[in-house]
Amino acid sequence: MFTNFPFFPQQASAQAGQVDAIYFFMVAVTAFFSILIAGLVVAFAIKYRRRHRDEVGYAIHGSLALELLWTVIPFFIVMVMFVWGAKVFFDMYRPPAGAMEIYVVGKQWMWKVQHMDGQREINELHVPVGRPVKLIMGSEDVLHSYYIPAFRVKADVIPGRYNELWFTATKAGTYHLFCAEYCGTKHSGMVGSVVAMEPQDFQAWLSGGKASESPVAAGEKLFQDLTCNTCHMAASQGRGPVLTNLFGKPVELQDGSKVVADEGYLRESIVNPQAKIVAGFQPIMPTFQGLVTEEQLLQLISYVRSLSQQGAAPSPAGTSAPQKPQASDRPVVEKK
């Protein structure tokens, strides 16, 4: 409906229509009342102007009916905005299960992207049309915000935690990508493009020559390089908890409380291991803060995820059925 409205970004995601509908509804309501009130101010100023020097206005003692009317009508209008807006917000907030996952790291002043099967990009994001895509986003330094106007999605990228953003592209094309949070000198240069491609074109792009190691494979290597494996042993109990089948499960802590082993928990356990000690273990793990980059953290986490069938990332290529993405059955990638 509004796709050809001048100065308005085109609608290229499944969410865009819903966001625009509520946006235009609010603009219409606001415009209607602004014009009505401004018109009445002028009309009444003329109608009730002072005609004689000694004229005195009427004393008004109020009207209950009028008070109720202009309380109840706005109440219902804003309730419509609230309920409608909340529905759109919750739809946009909850990624559907089985969405294709992509890691994004914001960094002064660029966007770094890792696809699950090894493709990497900077300041670009390639996605297939017609499939929900979930971005798992972290920041290397300061607050950024990932913003794709044509998809009507924007989310802050926050240091020290993960934030998610999801969309389903509906139209092939190249769209603007912006950083929408002032993040230093070259904030205005932290821009790029999102390329939505037909599924077969996306497959061709994915299998193009640029692929490097998948995050799982890179994470597995890091896990050994950082000697995580000396304490977190695969089968028998080491000095650290076993990580197999850990992802997505509740973990019992020393103080008796429980947490779910999600991305945020794993990230904290790597950079700040003393924050949550697993029941039955000693607080002996050193911090890896500063030793691993945000990208490497995401690689380590995707490796730990790959150790549990439930937490396995959906295959980027095909079905959303959980698969066990072991490093060995990933596409063969060249190592330098």
Interface positions with ligand CUA (CB under 6 A): 106, 109, 144, 179, 181-183, 187, 190
Report, in Å, the least distance between residue 156 CB and ligand CUA.
10
Report cis status (omega within 30 of 0) of the bond before 111.
no
**C-beta closer to ligand CUA: residue 107 or 134:** 107
Sign of the dihedral defined by the CA atoms of residues 205, 207, 209, 214, in that order: positive
Report, in Å, the least distance between residue 186 CB and ligand CUA.
8
**C-beta closer to ligand CUA: residue 10 or 108:** 108
Report, in Å, the least distance between residue 179 CB and ligand CUA.
3
Report, in Å, the least distance between residue 293 CB and ligand CUA.
17
Phi, psi of 250 (to 5 degrees): -75, 145
Report, in Å, the least distance between residue 295 CB and ligand CUA.
16
**C-beta closer to ligand CUA: residue 144 or 330:** 144
**C-beta closer to ligand CUA: residue 106 or 118:** 106
**CA proximity to 297, closest of 108, 140, 166, 164:** 140
What is the distance between the alpha carbons of residues 182 and 196, in angstroms, rounded to a whole number?
26
**C-beta closer to ligand CUA: residue 213 or 294:** 294
Report, in Å, the least distance between residue 175 CB and ligand CUA.
18
Cβ neighbours of residue 70 closer than 8 Å, sequence gap 6 or more: none
Q: Is 107 helix (H, G, I), strand (E, B) or coil?
A: strand
What is the distance between the alpha carbons of residues 230 and 134, in angstroms, rounded to a whole number?
33
Please, what's the b/e burial string for 70-94 (b: 16 or more CB within 10 A of its CB; e: otherwise)? eeeeeeeeeeeeeeebeebeeebee
Please compute Rg for the chain using Cα positions: 27
**C-beta closer to ligand CUA: residue 186 or 210:** 186
